[in-house]
Amino acid sequence: MGVMGVGLGYAIAAAVETGKKVISLHGDSAFGLDEMEMEIICRYHLPVTVVIINNGGIYNGDPTRNELLDIQDSWSLYYLQLNANKKSLTLNIKTDEGKKIMYDLIKKADVFIENIAPGSAERNGFGWEKLHEMNPKLIYASLKGFNEGSRFENVKAFEPVAQSAGGAASATLGDSNSGMHLTIGILAALLQREHTSEGTFVYQSMQDAVLNLCRIKLRNQIMLDNLGALPHYAVYPNWKWGKAIPRAENTEGGQVIGRTYKAKGWETNPNAYVYIVIQNSDKSWAAIANTMGHPEWITNPRFDGWHNRQLHKEEIYPLIESYTKQYDKYELTKKLGAAGIPVGPVLDWHEIENGPDLNKDGTIVTIDQGGNRGKFKTIGLPFSLSNYKRAPDLGENNKEILASLGYDPDQIEKLTEEGVISKAQGPKNPRTEVIKGE
């Protein structure tokens, strides 16, 4: 399977066969209209070859290529980390020939993905009805901020908007999560098509995607409606409960008592913390008490049974932290983990970037981009696939993709002269100037 993406709102995806002189579109393929990260994440998680189609009249390509620049004359990490394993074609769809090329690719595609302003796809000739008539087996995937029929259906949305509307204002869920949910919908539609031989319309709102990951909060809200208080919340029992659930701080979302505790070095290191979960059973509580050298906690009536521990957790927190502050977070993870206690270090991004485990197992991969950028790290796919290639330069695959549609070298050169496509080009941009604090 393969995907092609178009900057400034238009993208096509199609699988290509690379072992022959003429590269042909075949098998599972996808076409997409995208603007920013949400649809890119969807394409990123599909096990496909991706071809990004940038508007031939706009030579900077998709916006992320030139945002948050840290190295002169290099595409941004924002672009590079989300566009590995893709190909690039520049195409001006405002020209008759450019639109014809787009439609030719769509006719061969299996999946069409659009993530542009509500109504834009239809106005530009890429609505569901038109493309379904053109290619009845096409899966049409649409990613918007809000649901169809919503009061906010026609409102544009970026990640913080979706997080706020989805009940997760303090988390980073809007973009990546929405793309992954759309991927699931596309894969389900492809499987359905195996039985029906007909394409379908897949619609994903960012708000729904965020809500799906925060569904446990609805459970808490209903519990509050019924009980009037939530024993498993950090603020229980000394909280003036209202109609809505309060913020959960850094506590675990279930009945267990999970919390972040200071570790050795916390005075100077803002990330010297460890997360520990006290499970509900008395056996688990005994393991914590014995491991921390305080067996008297086991017989303390205030901590007898999970209900009493919930009532008096404000007393438990400092007791545990008096122990955790004696050891660094890695020692704590080793000691407590060996005793069967759920525990983990709070890692900062420098630790994650350079951690031996993630770099060794392929979670963090190194890509050689060449040029001024050279080698850089990125997060690999959450599942394992062989072969991982760098992100393409702008228009790098123009000739390859157009040849797959039957264009010969002279015709491709003519398209360049007429402005239907642009010449392939590498990055030419400044490094962002920054002000460093004292």
DSSP 8-state assignment for residue 249: T
Query: How far apart are the C-alpha atoms of 51 and 391, rounded to whole Å?
Result: 10
Task: Count Cβ atoms within 10 A of the Cβ of residue 123 and give its class: 0-12 exposed, 13-18 middle, 19 or more buried.
Answer: exposed
How would you write the pLDDT of the chain (438 residues) with one tens digit per residue?
Answer: 333 333 222 233 332 222 221 211 223 344 444 444 445 545 555 545 556 666 644 445 677 787 777 778 888 877 887 777 777 888 887 789 988 998 998 888 888 888 777 888 888 888 999 999 999 988 888 877 766 777 667 766 655 455 555 555 555 666 677 888 888 888 888 888 888 999 999 888 888 887 887 777 887 888 888 888 887 787 888 889 999 988 776 666 667 888 889 999 999 999 899 888 888 889 999 999 999 999 999 999 999 998 899 889 889 999 999 999 999 998 999 899 989 888 988 888 888 888 888 787 777 888 888 889 899 888 776 555 445 567 788 888 899 989 989 999 999 999 999 989 988 888 888 776 655 555
Mapping DSSP to helix (H, G, I), strand (E, B) and coil, where does residue 25 land?
strand
Mapping DSSP to helix (H, G, I), strand (E, B) and coil, where does residue 8 land?
helix
Q: What are phi and psi of 203, to 5 degrees?
A: -120, 130
Note the residue count of the chain: 438
Which residues make Cβ contacts (< 8 Å) with residue 346, sequence separation at least 6?
260, 271, 272, 273, 274, 275, 329
- Taking alpha carbons only, the member of 339, 294, 346, 302 closest to residue 320 is 294
Evaluate whether the domain defined by 216-346 bears CATH number 3.30.1540.10: yes
Catalytic residues: 175
Using alpha carbons only, what angle is made at residue 184 by residues 179 and 187, rounded to the nearest 5 degrees?
120
Query: How far apart are the C-alpha atoms of 327 and 321, rounded to whole Å?
Result: 10
Confidence at residue 71, expressed as pLDDT on a 0 to 100 scale = 79
Q: pTM score, two decimals?
A: 0.63
Contact of 302 with 308, CB cutoff 8 Å: yes
Confidence at residue 6, expressed as pLDDT on a 0 to 100 scale = 32
Q: Which amino acid, residue 226?
A: N
Confidence at residue 106, expressed as pLDDT on a 0 to 100 scale = 86
Delimit the domains of the chain by residue range: 2-213+387-417, 216-346
Mapping DSSP to helix (H, G, I), strand (E, B) and coil, where does residue 341 land?
coil
Q: 280-305: b or e for each residue (b if 16 or more CB lie within 10 Å)?
A: beeebbebbbeebeeeebeebeebee
Confidence at residue 130, expressed as pLDDT on a 0 to 100 scale = 93
Locus of tokens 């790290």 = 377
Evaluate whether the domain defined by 2-213+387-417 bears CATH number 3.40.50.2300: no
